[in-house]
Structure 1
Amino acid sequence: MVVLATKLYVSGDARERATDSLRSLVANEIGDLEVEFEVGVRHDDFPSVTIDGEDAVVARNVLREEFGEIVPDLEAGETYVGTLDSWDEDGFILDAGQPVRISAEEMGLGPGSPTQIRERYGLVQHVPLRFVYGGEFGDDDAEPSRLAEAERDRLYEWTRGDGRLNVNSATRGEVRATLNRAGHAQDYITVERFGLLEQSVICPEDTDPPGLLSSVGEYLPAELRCVVP
């Protein structure tokens, strides 16, 4: 079994659609392998994929690479994926199957409070982020957990592009359908998937992300954040 580092936190019909979307994503990744799989959702909203078959080991590794994995025990110095659970004046709290604090000093994303950093980089709640685990609190050898260098580079790259509108609580297909129905088919390049329910609308040079947010916000029951270069 692999527990994927992306959350399924919506309810009702939206939860059923999201689960169906996850099954399709998993099938796209491992459907050509000699395996059978079953998708479930844990009590903490992390989905699990049970895999059987000749290529089960390969399939698990493919899913770990694509989504990241929630593991029972974190090892100091290793890189993992956690979802942005909450934030305060001191930093971010990531959910990696257990809470992991990333202090403001260990973000490496420039000046400002955690709230200001979240605004600058358009970080919606539950977005998956890669981090390096420092160790358990109280361990004399523990160091502060920090955002992974590759994650910092990715977020910095967002601010050098043409602009983004980041969205949570919706699948990639739902976001694309909403943009098209709202008459914005020409106002985005693509929708990049961060997690199952966290997406990024990549805008062309002549599209204003705040204007796009204002136009489609009423159609998406979601948190929306802009990245403006």
Structure 2
Amino acid sequence: MVVLATKLYVDGDARERSLDSLRSLVTNEIGDLEVEFDLGVRHDEFPSVTIEGADATVARNVLREEFGEIVSDLESGETYVGTLESWDDDGFVLDAGQAVRIPTDELGLGPGSAEQIRERFGLVQHVPLAFVYGGDEPNEGTATPSRLTDAERDRLYEWTRGNGRLNVNCATRAEVRATLNRAGHAQDYVTVERLGLLEQSVVCTEDTDPPGLLASVGEYLPAELRCVVP
């Protein structure tokens, strides 16, 4: 079984649509392998994929690479993926099957408070982020703090160098694209990048103003929306 590092936190019809979307994503990744799989959702909202078949080991590795994996024990110095659970004056708290605090100084995303950094990079709640685990909670200042990976920092900085973005949670990629098109913005974005199962990044065209796009489509998306303005 592989527990994927992306959350499924919506209810009702939206939950069923999200499960269908996840099933399609998993099929796209491992459908050509000699395996069968079943989806489940744990009590902490992380989806699990149980895989059987001749290519089960390969399939598990493919899913780990694509989504990241939630594991029971974190080892110091190793890289994992967690979802952005909360933020405060001291930094970010990621959910990686257990709470992992990333101090503000270890985010590596420039000056400002954790809240200011979240706003600047358009980080919506539950977005998956890769980090290097530092160890247990600090004890008398001796533990190494956890930090974002260099690759994660580079990816977020790259967002601020483009044409602008609108990041969204609580919606699948197909739902975000359909909403943009229905609202008359089919020509205002380049693509919708999937950040997680329910977290998406709308890549704007050169002439599109991300705050203006947010104001236009916000009423149609029952979600958190954050802009990235170059």
Q: TM-score range by the shorter chain?
A: over 0.9
Q: TM-score, normalised by structure 2?
A: 0.98
Gapped runs of 5+ residues in structure 1? none
**1:62-73 paired onto structure 2 within 5 Å:** 62-73=62-73
Distance 1:165 1:154 in 2: 15
Matched with 2:44 is: 44
Matched with 2:15 is: 15
- Tell me the CA shift for residue 82 of structure 1: 0.2
Deviations 1:61-114 (A, max 9, x none): 000000000000000000000000000011000000000000001000000000
Distance 1:199 1:153 in 2: 18
**Percent identity among equivalent residues?**
82
Matched with 2:135 is: 135
**1:115-194 paired onto structure 2 within 5 Å:** 115-137=115-137, 142-194=143-195
Contact residue 8 and residue 15 of structure 1 kept, 8 A: yes
Partner secondary structure for residue 225 of structure 1: strand
Contact residue 166 and residue 201 of structure 2 kept, 8 A: yes
Distance 1:28 1:221 in 2: 28
Q: What is the one-letter code of the residue matched to 1:158?
A: W
Contact residue 83 and residue 128 of structure 1 kept, 8 A: yes
Distance 1:32 1:97 in 2: 30
Q: What is the one-letter code of the residue matched to 2:122?
A: G
Contact residue 76 and residue 142 of structure 1 kept, 8 A: no
Partner secondary structure for residue 86 of structure 2: strand
Q: What is the one-letter code of the residue matched to 1:213?
A: L
Q: What is the one-letter code of the residue matched to 1:188?
A: Y
Matched with 2:28 is: 28
- Tell me the CA shift for residue 139 of structure 1: 6.1
Alignment size in residue pairs: 229
